[in-house]
Amino acid sequence: MSSETPEAVESRPSDLTSHPAHEADGEKSHGTTSKPILADQVRAVIRLIQCRKCSYPLNDPVTLPCGRSLCRECLPETRTREHISYPATPARLQGFDCPFPECGKQHALSDTSADVVLSKAIHFRNAILQGQGLEALDSILTNVSIQDEDEWAVAGLSSMAERNHKSTLVRGGKLVATYTLAEQGELKYAAEVSFAEVSLTGDEAALVDEAVFMQVKESVRTEMDCQESLVNQPFTASTIMPIQ
């Protein structure tokens, strides 16, 4: 057994679930964000509740043995497995190839499980849907520019990458507008977005964004708290892999 002292690792609180580490007690926002919500923050929040396969908001999410998750209805078609690994029980006869290229292994259907943590995503969704009901949104329109992932760039051929952007006008601030596009199936999981608020409402759009963001933030805080402290980098007990 090694006698070396483990290296101390700094814990960096999430923008969604806690105040910045450098923020003094007297400087905390007490329920409001201290600065406008950035485009990458909005995209990260919405991507958190999107299925990697269908790109719609997660519906009955399940976790595969490799630690990746998707909607239950997005599971690939099963087939009878051969050369079953231990335990060779009847429940492990049916399996499928992992739909994620970075894994590519064969999984037993019985080894997939309902993802309790990602099922909390319904609370994110409820918070954003509550934001959709804000009367102030009737006067707010956001121009969302969508840039889909380019296959050439992914292949490492950036010089051949296409710079095609699709712009669409959506009711609501940044957060609600982005969720609406995901809900309509118009925002791919890997796509990036940029925004231009076009309604003549001054700071009203930013205030609405802050209100919806705080609803999501409180939902995250409520669902991710454990008995001792905020859950940080949670692990699944069965696979001992970070939840992804």
> What would the two tokens of residue 129 be?
């849907």
- Within-domain flag for 176: yes
pLDDT of residue 133: 66
User: What is the number of residues in the chain?
Assistant: 244
Q: Which residues span the domain enclosing 203?
A: 36-58+118-150+163-224
Query: 108 and 49, same structural domain?
Result: no
- Within-domain flag for 86: yes
Per-residue pLDDT tens digits for 156-195: 555 555 556 788 998 888 888 999 999 999 999 999 999 8
Query: 215 and 143, same structural domain?
Result: yes
pLDDT band at 196 (very low <50, low <70, confident <90, very high): confident
Query: 69 and 189, same structural domain?
Result: no
Q: How far apart are CA 68 and CA 52, in angstroms?
A: 9
Which residue(s) pair with 167 in the sheet? 145
Say if residues 162 and 184 touch (Cβ distance below 8 Å): no
Query: 183 and 143, same structural domain?
Result: yes
Query: 124 and 82, same structural domain?
Result: no
What is the pLDDT averaged over residues 136-151?
79
Per-residue pLDDT tens digits for 9-47: 333 334 444 333 333 344 444 444 456 778 888 999 899
pLDDT of residue 185: 93
pLDDT of residue 157: 55
pLDDT value at 92 more than 50: yes
Cα separations in angstroms, 58 against 3, 84, 88, 113, 173: 45, 30, 32, 15, 22
Query: 52 and 101, same structural domain?
Result: no
Exposure string of 43-79, with b = 16+ CB inside 10 Å and e = fewer, is bebbbebbbbbbbbbbeebbbbbbbbbbbeebbeeee
Name the average pLDDT for the chain: 73
Query: 167 and 52, same structural domain?
Result: yes
Query: 76 and 174, same structural domain?
Result: no
pLDDT band at 53 (very low <50, low <70, confident <90, very high): very high
Model-wide pTM > 0.75: no
